[in-house]
Amino acid sequence: MPSSVSPLFGPLEISKSGLTGLKSFCVLAFHQPESGGDRLVNSRASRIAIMSLDIFKLNGKVAWITGGTKGLGLAMANALASVGADIVVNSRTRAEAEETAKKIAGEHKCRAIGLETDVTKPEQVSSLVKRAAEELGGIDILINNAGVNVRQPTIDLPLEEWQRVLDINLTGPFICSKAVAPQMIKKGWGRIIHLSSILGHVGLAGRTPYSATKGGILLLTKTQALEFATHGITVNAICPGPFKTAMNEVLLKDPEAFKAFVAKIPIGRWGYLNELDGAVIFLASEASSFMTGAALTIDGGWTAQ
């Protein structure tokens, strides 16, 4: 059995067994020396901590992914369904939402509903939340993913376009969070995950409204984390870098723009959709229970420079 010495806990032994999917676990045995100093454990016997991968399971939870019919939203919906969650997706097109829900339910053998909902319309959001409560038992996890981008410099950007981006990217998450929070508070448990961006951390010319909204999402995350902390609700953000989505199609089809973006990514490529799976499952589950008000940046190293 491998062992090492911890300056705090003394000799440390690590053993692993039963590595079979979600049933796997590891045992960490911290052995406290029998003499000298204040003890960090309550007895001289070993403290055994068992970490089970069951803490990532979402059986019995209902997750709503806004804009979850395509791109990163669809990838996250499938990721959460794969670990047991029932799913709600919305789109401004009813057929698209219903077809997506049908596919998710069939692939993951879960319950899923797809509804025509505009996240900037409070009455439509309230109707979705009510429907989810009636059919699935209420929303436990909210992924505020719906968003748009406009690529124009400030002096050429119509005010209407600025307002449209703000309405969808920043006001929408506020409306949806406000709508689901009362049910989460009543249950004493909830997860709100906002989709920000690396452009919430750094600027990029020609992305004024998008960057402004994604920066705003980071402070919305921190503020809501403080407001909901005593109710068993955590609020965190994910900040993706360049991923191959429909929103970035214009860049993917432009060889020079594509090359310029890759040059900014230390890993040397764009992200694949499934590379957000681990982060969203972690933030939606018990595994992140002591984490709130934080932002996970998944960008291939872009913002490390």
pLDDT for position 52: 80
Arithmetic mean of pLDDT, 262-285 = 94
State the pLDDT confidence band at 118, using cuts at 50, 70 and 90.
very high
Please identify which residue in the block is written with the tokens 């804009």: 67
DSSP notation for 172-200:
HHHHHHHHHHHHHHHHT-EEEEEE--GGG
Arithmetic mean of pLDDT, 213-217 = 97
Looking at the fold, whether 62 and 40 belong to one and the same domain comes out as no
Looking at the fold, whether 277 and 188 belong to one and the same domain comes out as yes
Count: domains in the chain: 2
CATH number of residue 188's parent domain: 3.40.50.720
pLDDT at 128 over 90: yes
* SS3 label, residue 10: strand
Looking at the fold, whether 154 and 213 belong to one and the same domain comes out as yes
Identify the bridge partners of residue 5 per DSSP, sorted by sequence position.
Answer: 11
pLDDT for position 140: 98
Instruction: Give the burial class of 74: count Cβ atoms within 10 A of its Cβ; 0-12 exposed, 13-18 middle, 19 or more buried.
Output: buried
User: In 3D, which of 300, 293, 157 has the Cα closest to residue 233?
Assistant: 293
Q: Which of 127-136, 147-156, 211-220, 228-237 has the lowest mean pLDDT?
A: 147-156
- Helix residue ranges per DSSP H, the chain: 71-82, 94-108, 122-136, 159-166, 172-187, 208-228, 249-252, 255-263, 277-284
Looking at the fold, whether 66 and 43 belong to one and the same domain comes out as no
One-letter identity of residue 301: G
Q: How many CB atoms lie within 10 A of CB 105?
A: 17
Looking at the fold, whether 37 and 77 belong to one and the same domain comes out as no
Looking at the fold, whether 236 and 211 belong to one and the same domain comes out as yes
- Judge whether 210 counts as a catalytic residue: yes
Share of the chain above pLDDT 70, in %: 82
* Rg over CA atoms, the chain: 22
pLDDT at 205 over 50: yes
pLDDT for position 10: 40
User: In 3D, which of 145, 142, 103 has the Cα closest to residue 246?
Assistant: 145
pLDDT at 290 over 50: yes
Looking at the fold, whether 251 and 226 belong to one and the same domain comes out as yes
Please identify which residue in the block is written with the tokens 């005010």: 159
Catalytic residue among 210, 261, 270, 282: 210
**What is d(CA 30, CA 174) in angstroms, rounded to the nearest whole number?**
45
Looking at the fold, whether 126 and 153 belong to one and the same domain comes out as yes
pLDDT for position 294: 98
Looking at the fold, whether 40 and 61 belong to one and the same domain comes out as no
pLDDT for position 37: 44
Domain residues for 233?
57-304
State the pLDDT confidence band at 110, using cuts at 50, 70 and 90.
very high
pLDDT for position 47: 41
Looking at the fold, whether 168 and 130 belong to one and the same domain comes out as yes
Cα distances from 186 to residues 72, 129, 194, 203, in angstroms, run 30, 14, 21, 39
